[in-house]
Chain A
Amino acid sequence: MSEDIVPRLESYLARVLAQPDLEVSALARIPGGASRETYRFRIRYGGGGAQTERGLILRRDPPASLIETERATEYRAYQAFHALGLPVPEPIALEESGDFLGRPFFIMEEIENCQVGNILASNPYGDHRDQIGQQFFGALGRIAQADVDAIGLGDLDGTRDPARCWSHELERWQKVIEEDETEPQPIVHAGLRWLRRNPPPPAQRISVVHGDYRTGNFLFDAKGDIRAILDWEMTHLGDPLEDLAWALDPLWSHGDPSRPAGTIARPQALAIWEKESGIRLDTAALAWWEIFASLKGCAIWMSAAREYAQGRNTDPVNAFSGWYCLAFHNNVLAERLGAA
């Protein structure tokens, strides 16, 4: 089935890159989450002179998506942060019609010889744990620090009103919960009420929020360097604490919440983020966003469960998310709110 799209991909890229002799080879689907189909392939062109060969990644919309996301937004985020010098793959092409590959897609550079940390592994980074943690929270601080207008993302979805960041996101995810709740979730409803009754202070700055900054969404190499921050599909404007809280979430801590993302100690992670972002951390505000993170997780996993249960997207990752991850976040939310 993958091979069926090779001629179409070849003709599309030959036109976009103005390389009539471009050839596509070694197309193979790779794991890349349930929200887009991900393929690795190689291109070669320049037969008459200096020949160029490189690896690329194709991200194509599936028949049904886990969450409704804007591929154009994701593509623009890749453009902006690649230009800023963050470890982000170079975006190559965005196609929003289904004219070429049946569904919309985008293409970006393949970052080779890297791996993703498995969220179920107890120590996915081995001896590079500290180095990866420093880079992970440092890069997140740099995302928070970036001027949204200067990098051309000032018009993203979200809000530019610091006082409304929390309510904007809460309303967004409450809508998802209302639409995708296939079995009653009493802890989630309690979470919604608590978050509304106990609002955080206004955001200190409006930043680009990655939206899913965590273990599993970055690539690292054998030297322990983060080479690519991926999956910008939920990028929006908002309070940078939203991203920090998500990155700190116990689901990504590999069994030890005192070492977020399975890397460095939490105080060190927060200190690095503060230094790189230039934002002095408000711990009360962060506590609100951490509870919100658990609720947002529940909303995403409820969507995954619904997609799978109703047969719209039977990727087994959706079954895992809708079962394991939902149970995990329900437990985190209950423990946090039951003590609040």
Chain B
Amino acid sequence: MTPETDQILNLSAMKLITEFAPALGTQYGQGMAQVVAVLLFMAGQDVERGAAIRVAENADMRTLFGALAPQMADEILRKELETAARSPEGALTISALNTVNARLRRLLIRLHAALDDSGADATAVWTVLKAMAARRTVTLPAL
């Protein structure tokens, strides 16, 4: 598509902030229009990178599960980790990626809690968590 979706959202955000919001008659309307403009900008970023973030996050969790599963004393958890580590990504729509992501995240919470409870080294988990958080951080233009 020309123009691209992220460009439309970013340019609409700029128009809203610089032209449309100041033309609104009330302070409330101007304030809310500015917040909506920021949301459009964030949506523009997510259109471009949203699927890539989720695919990378899911891949990181699968790799982690495969590496740590053999250490798990809990047989049920170990098998779930092994199964998840081998699971395919499936559809690449945001909603499908989110469904898989939520399932993997729930397993990651259980894995991390098990490591904490046993006093085992969780450095590898923290490496993945820090990467997940950093990827999802939103960068906004200076106002």
Contacts and interface: CB of A to CB of B under 8 A. Distances in A.
Interface of A: 28-31, 118, 120-122, 183-187, 189-190, 193, 197, 315-317, 319-320, 323-324, 327-328, 330-331, 333-335, 337-338
B39 A320 contact: yes
B36 A338 contact: no
B28 A30 contact: yes
B105 interface: yes
Contacts of A28: 26-28
Contacts of A185: 105
Contact of B133 (A193, A316, A330): A330
B32 A31 contact: yes
B143 A316 contact: no
A319 B42 CA distance: 11
B137 interface: yes
Question: What is the predominant secondary structure among interface residues of chain A facing chain B?
Answer: helix
Interface of B: 26-28, 31-32, 35-36, 38-39, 42, 98, 101-102, 105-106, 108-109, 112-113, 116, 125-127, 129-130, 132-134, 136-138, 140, 142-143
- From A30, A186, A316, A338, residue with most partner B Cβ within 10 Å: A186
A315 B32 CA distance: 8
A122 B142 contact: yes
A121 to B, nearest CB: 5
Question: What is the predominant secondary structure among interface residues of chain B facing chain A?
Answer: helix
A185 B105 CA distance: 7
A335 B132 CA distance: 11
B98 A183 contact: yes
26 contacts: A28-B26, A30-B28, A31-B31, A120-B38, A120-B140, A120-B143, A183-B102, A184-B102, A184-B105, A184-B106, A184-B108, A186-B109, A186-B132, A189-B109, A189-B113, A316-B39, A317-B35, A324-B42, A324-B140, A327-B136, A328-B138, A331-B137, A334-B129, A334-B133, A335-B130, A338-B129
Nearest to B141: A120
A30 B136 contact: no
- From B27, B32, B133, B138, residue with most partner A Cβ within 10 Å: B133
A338 B105 contact: no
A232 B32 CA distance: 22
Given A118-B143, A186-B105, A324-B138, A338 B126 contact: yes
Contacts of A118: 143
B112 A186 contact: yes
A338 to B, nearest CB: 4
A197 B32 CA distance: 42
Contacts of B35: 316-317, 320
